[in-house]
Amino acid sequence: MQASSPQPVMVIGAGIAGITAALEAAESGAQVVLVEKDPSIGGRVLRSYHYFPKHCPPSCGMEINTRRLERNPRVRVLVNSQVTKATKTDQGWSVTISEAPLYVNDRCTACGECSKVCPAKVADDFNLGLCEVPAIRLRHPDAWPRRFVLNREACPSGCDACAKACKYGAINLSAKERSETLQVGSIVLATGWKPYPLEKLTELGGGKIPNVISNVHMERLASPTGPTAGKILRPSDSKPPKNVAFVQCAGSRDVKHLPYCSAVCCLASLKQAVYVKEQLPESEVTIYYIDRRTPGRNEDVLTKVAAMDGVKLVKGKVGKIESHDGAIVLRLEDVEAEKIVDATADLVVLATGMVSNLGDMASQIGIQVDADGFGLEDPQAALFVAGVARRPEDVAATTRDATGTAAKALVAAIRSA
């Protein structure tokens, strides 16, 4: 760049926000370090089956993004890595990164021989722990960097079957943690979100009734790379549901749980209603909502789904969900009619909200967060926030936000140089 920044920009978190911010800055000529705690990039979006409003797979855009990352000599991607210390300096920030032991290195060809011989099973973190996988495996088909990962703590004592099976010398079972300190001009926090825990929604049967699941669980059920290979099945008996209820604002807009609106759940449920109807055309779908929040052209999704046969949208806040003789009963406060109504379903999807991951990181770096943990940018300190770490927002808003945040971080890096 003409006003080039001698110090790189550090982006923390390689979900859609972080990847976008890193690439947009790097394609503009900046040096970028992208730090991700997981062994592969992609964050939450790759766990979704489709994006709204286009009903298209996230891996489509991610394919382009990974190719952009591969081609770009200015981005350094550090996976398995976390910030352990960050200190403000005159020229920006001094950040210490700790990289977890790299048991499987770049020599890995993803051939899969190690997985075949692995005796240990672990919960599949990519699939929200809904199924088991070998302790050494490719995290998911689109994993990038494309190499296997090992949950070392799951290895039986003395077992080195995988290392022996690997013909390419890619496995080092005694790999050590690594640490390095980097000088950067500015920092973008793109640490994303986690789903509000189902277990906290006990009044809605969360964690108690097997056929009460979360919306993120539904994404995995619909996804061909999910635990049921894309089949929407009830957890209790692995049978397809006949009567699916979506409960909006499960936790969100609720002072007992999340006082804010999570901004994406209405569209996520409308989208998931399409998953159900496309796969199970005979099923009945009911969406219980307070307000249907589908801003902009996303209104098209509401229009389309509302017109589908066998889909009902009912205004009413679900206050209680119980299981009676195998049937799930939803107790509905019909605010307008001022009465309580009971409804039934055989699969309930709680549209749980998004919780910012910025929590711990915030105190470590000293960024201000609001009462709910969403970050507030601090240009003076060369600290910026992008994506859901900043505010509840959908992917389309996140990619715009992250591109703009990349520009802000670059301006700050230029200024602090």
Rule CB under 8 A: which of 316-345 touch other proteins?
335-336
Structure tokens at 113: 């021989």
Contact pattern for other proteins over residues 288 through 307, marking x by CB under 8 A: ---xxxxxxxxxx--x----
The contact pattern for other proteins, residues 135-174, with x = CB under 8 A and - = no contact, is ---x--xx---x--------------------xxx-----
Based on CB atoms, which residue is closest to other proteins, 86 or 414? 414
CB of 131 to other proteins, least distance (A): 16
Q: Which stretch binds other proteins (CB under 8 A): 51-59, 128-136, 275-283, 325-333?
A: 51-59
Side-chain half-sphere of 95: how many Cα atoms within 13 Å?
A: 31
- Name the 3-class secondary structure at 17: helix
Kindly identify the residues of this chain, within the stretch 207-236, that bind other proteins according to CB under 8 A.
Answer: 223-225
The CA distance from 189 to 83, in Å, is 11
C-beta of 142 vs 284, nearer to other proteins: 142
Q: Fill in the DSSP letter of residue 185.
A: S
From residue 4 to residue 43, the character string flagging contacts with other proteins as x (rule: CB under 8 A) and all else as - is: ------------x------xxx-xxx--------------
Q: Note whether 176 and 109 are within 8 A (CB).
A: no
| Secondary structure (H, E, C), 349-384 | EEEECEEECCHHHHHHHCCCECCCCCECCEHHHCEE
Size of the site for other proteins (CB under 8 A): 89
Query: Pick from 82, 111, 231, 279: which binds other proteins (CB under 8 A)?
Result: 111
- Interface residue with other proteins, options 136, 263, 276, 305 (CB under 8 A): 263
Number of H helices, E strands in the chain: 9, 22
Do 351 and 313 touch, CB atoms closer than 8 A? no
Span 349-408, contacts to other proteins by CB under 8 A: 370-372, 374, 376, 391-393, 395-397, 399-408
The interface mask with other proteins, positions 233-262, x = CB under 8 A, is -------------------xx-----xxxx
User: Could you write out the DSSP letters of every residue in 55-86?
Assistant: TB-HHHHHHHHHHHHHH-TTEEEE-SEEEEEE
Helix (H) or strand (E) holding 117: helix 113-117
Residues 61-90 that bind other proteins (CB under 8 A): 61, 63-65, 67-68, 70-72
